[in-house]
Structure 1
Amino acid sequence: MLSISEFSQMCHLSPQALRFYHAEGLLVPAEVDDRTGHRSYAFDQVERAMLITLLRDTGMSVKLVRRALDEPDQAVALLDRHSDEVSRQRRAQADAIAAARAVFEVQPEPRLRHVPAMTVVARLVPGTPLGRDAHEWDRAEEIIAAAAAELVTTVRQAGVACLGEPWRTPALETPEQDRRVLDGAGPFWIVKVAVADTPGTLPPLPAGLIVQTAEAHDELSIFMPGRNTMAKYCTVILRLLDAVPPDGDRFVDLARLRQEVRPDGVLSSAPVERRPGAPAQDHER
């Protein structure tokens, strides 16, 4: 029999690791002294220790390692699935590193720009969750992105040319939409795309599509690298609000916030409007 220190040296596993594997049922000592608690190992347990080390070095969880050892005929399939998950995590980490680098390099700040008048085709997006946690938020993002892509396809199939990429905006454009959002019933979002035609020249469009005329206006825009998250969304709102003095004659209309999701990040924009009663003034663009 081998003491825990001897077995530790032989297998290149620390005594702490051996105690942990004992507690987890992965590598149970051949004998445990009832009086002292000292663990002893048999020489033929070296192979199991080697297999545990091989699997743990891949980053497998204790649960998966136990399953691979208990079901050796499934070990290769488990390793394949683990490899796929590791690759997914590495891609996600690479994307996160790129996004973090971009945020610190770019230092996103709002910029004022003028938006000309345009004709817009819109559609409500039903079925999005509220985004109360990361899973709900990501699910909502998927639904909205799919709805935006479908809108563009539908508009083009109707023979209408789209101008630029689609965007999404909160469904707060009518009293009925306001009520349903406040009640938590939804829809919470609208997807839109600018089109080349004017309302009077548009061909018939499928039911559910809304044709709007957006007036020319000034807006503040900020580009946030990386994928859209609740924290980034809130950060964008704070930076847009901070860009306009709270006691000035203008305000940022966040109810009309729009987001254009791009491959490398999200462009968020909100109109800058004159407060009711404020004197009209010319300003530079």
Structure 2
Amino acid sequence: MLSIGEFANMTGLSVKALRHYDEKGVLSPAEVDAATGYRRYSEGQVRSGALVRAMRDAGLPLPAVAAAVRDGDAASALDEHRQRVLADRAREDAAFENARLVVSSFAAPVEVTERESHARPYVARALAVRTDGDHETDDEAANDLLMGLLADLRSDGLGPSGQFWTAVREGDAPDRAEVVCCWPTAEPAPDGWGGPGTVVGVLPERRELVATWRSATGGPLPEGSVHPAVVALFDAVAARGVAVSHDEVRQAVLGRDEHDHSVEVSVTIEQP
């Protein structure tokens, strides 16, 4: 039999670690002296002790180490842990590259201007989304909503009279929001047009702050990040010290070519 000190020297595990592993049921001594409480280990436990040290050095969590010692299958435990580590590393690498892309996209040029805009009638429908949800699925649902609204406008001879825009407003819970999908019309639609859930309104005459991002100079965009045009717009809002309603920020895509289009984000800063 080996004392705890001898076993520690033999396996490379510290006495403190051996006591901890005993308490956690990872590697218990062969016997404990009832009078003194001294732990003693059998020679046959040296293999387990050495494996425990190797697995802990490799980063295996204690429950996995305990199971490997119990089942006598350290090789499978190591393989499973390596797969988890590689998967985590791949996610971290992807997140790192996406973060670098966020930094570079925010550094790309975005033109910010002010403009006077005439009153503009529009119709809109809202899509409820989760703020922590699948953005690709949300984009598809918003596109379906816009196309459905467009079809209704055309069938009733109401237009549209320009490019659609979207806005985001708070939902009925902290993790929910609404994407408001809007089409401009040449003339105001009749009250009640489109049925329940359709808004008929008019953007009043206004002075707008506008941020324009162009794909030709903006470069690739990161996944799941705030659009650079939105960031530039709020930088400009902060610099000017103007008060705006965040839920009226309007975003429009100008041009349909994937490699040659613009994203225009605007907000009202003054009304006559």
Q: TM-score, normalised by structure 1?
A: 0.55
- Summarize the Cα distance change of 1:159–1:51 in structure 2 as closer, same or farther, 3 Å threshold: farther
Alignment of 1:24-173 (within 5 A): 24-72=24-72, 76=76, 79=78, 81-99=80-98, 111-113=110-112, 124-126=126-128, 128=130, 140-142=132-134, 144-152=135-143, 169-171=167-169
Alignment of 1:143-222 (within 5 A): 144-152=135-143, 169-171=167-169, 181=171, 183-184=172-173, 188-190=177-179, 217-220=208-211
CA contact under 8 A between 1:109 and 1:239: conserved in structure 2? no
User: Which residue identity does 2:6 align to in structure 1?
Assistant: E
Aligned counterpart, 1:274? 269
What is the CA–CA distance in structure 2 between the aligned matches of 1:258 and 1:23, rounded to whole Å? 60
Aligned-partner Cα distance in 1 for 2:199–2:83: 43
Matching residue of 2:247: 255
TM-score, with length taken from structure 2? 0.57
In 2, are the aligned partners of 1:4 and 1:40 still within 8 Å (CA)? Answer: yes
Q: Is the CA contact (8 Å cut-off) linking 1:252 and 1:270 kept in structure 2?
A: no
Q: Is the 8 A contact 1:251 1:275 kept in 2?
A: no
Q: CA deviation at 1:62?
A: 0.9
Contact persistence 1:3–1:40 (CA under 8 A)? yes
Q: CA deviation at 1:251?
A: 3.9
Do 2:32 and 2:40's aligned partners in 1 also have CA atoms closer than 8 Å? yes
CA shift at 1:273, angstroms? 2.6
1:132 corresponds to: none
**Distance in 1 between residues matched to 2:53 and 2:124, nearest whole Å:** 57
Unaligned runs of 5+ in 1: 129-136, 161-165, 173-180, 201-206, 261-267, 278-285
Label 1:240 to 1:7 Cα distance change in 2 as closer, same or farther (>3 A). Answer: same
SS at match of 1:44: helix
**Per the alignment, do residues 83 and 103 of structure 1 end up closer, same or farther by CA in structure 2, a change over 3 Å counting?**
same
SS at match of 1:64: helix
Please tell me the residue identity of whatever aligns with 1:2: L
Counterparts of residues 13-24 of structure 1 (less than 5 Å):
13-24=13-24
Alpha-carbon contact 2:51-2:74 (below 8 Å) kept: no
Q: Residues 8-27 of structure 1: CA distance to partner in whole angstroms, max 9, x if unpaired?
A: 12112122221221111111
> Larger deviation: 21-30 or 151-160?
151-160
- The answer to whether the Cα contact below 8 Å between 1:170 and 1:256 also exists between their aligned partners in 2 is yes
Distance 1:253 1:208, change over 3 A: closer
> Which protein has the larger Cα radius of gyration, Structure 1 or Structure 2?
2
CA RMSD of aligned residues (A): 5.4
Give the 3-state SS of the residue equivalent to 2:47 in structure 1: helix
Letter in 2 for 1:113: V
Q: Displacement, 1:39?
A: 2.1
The answer for the alignment partner of 2:260 in structure 1 is none
**Alpha-carbon deviation of 1:155?**
6.8
Deviations 1:32-77 (A, max 9, x none): 234443322111001212332343333221112223333457973x
DSSP-derived class of the 1:141 partner: coil
Q: 1:155 to 1:169 in 2, by over 3 A?
A: closer
| Letter matched to residue 90 of structure 1 | R
